[in-house]
Structure 1
Amino acid sequence: MLFLKPIINGTGNCYVEPETRNRERMDLVVDYRGEQFVVELKIWHGDAYNKRGEKQIAEYLEYYELKKGYMISFNFNKKKEIGVKDIVVGDKLLVEAVV
């Protein structure tokens, strides 16, 4: 949030844990220059947990009628693979960053 606020200041908005109509809570939604960005934040708890997170954000994208979303995974394992990769879930594209 500290990083995003100065970037979107005056040209967008940032919403933390906004609620959908079916009472689900997303982690972060950014409106910036007429575009909407959905961001899911996860702490790494294994592959199965990560797959559920990917499915979760794909559902949020469906709700907002978006094709692309973002997931930031915080992995505290010493042998983690850091980086950014594209993942396709159905007809949705997820950009996942592992830090």
Structure 2
Amino acid sequence: EKFLEEDGRRLFLLYVRPVINGKGNYYIESRTRNHRRTDVIIDFQGRQTVIELKIWRGNEYHLRGEEQLSEYLEYYRLEKGYMVSFNFNKKKQVGVHEVAVGDKILVEAVV
């Protein structure tokens, strides 16, 4: 059965909703003024967080995802953003690490 990014978003939001319940909001595919769409934006306790969700399709695709997230952070004037990669390779390295892209910090989680 094929796993889609939308499936990943649903799973991610199952975890996030109870955390932000009553103390914040989340927006799915929020459209920017330059007609780009972010995957998830969370407003929680006065802070805004941009999260990009990706299915692992190779390193080149992953690097484009990092650049895309960096551009969203620039648009929203944020220094730090988050990327969740759904990787179904048997030899994947799961975990969380930080990556610098220009002057932005990306916290990446591979699941």
> Fold-level match, TM-score > 0.5?
yes
Once the two structures are aligned, what percentage of the paired residues are identical?
61
| Aligned partner of residue 62 in structure 1, secondary structure | helix
Does residue 48 (structure 1) correspond to residue 60 (structure 2)? The answer is yes
Instruction: Say how many residue pairs are matched.
Output: 99
Amino acid corresponding to residue 66 of structure 2 in structure 1 = E
Give SS of 2:14's match: coil
Question: Which one has a larger percent helix, Structure 1 or Structure 2?
Answer: 2
Matches within 5 A, 1:1-99: 1-99=13-111
Higher strand share: 1
Q: Give, in angstroms, the shift of residue 4 of structure 1.
A: 1.1
Does the residue aligned with 1:5 lie in a helix, a strand or coil? helix
Deviation at 1:57, TM superposition (A): 0.2
- Measured in 2, the distance between the counterparts of 1:82 and 1:69 equals 18
Query: 4+ residue runs of structure 1 moved beyond 6 angstroms?
Result: none
Secondary structure of 2:85's counterpart equals strand
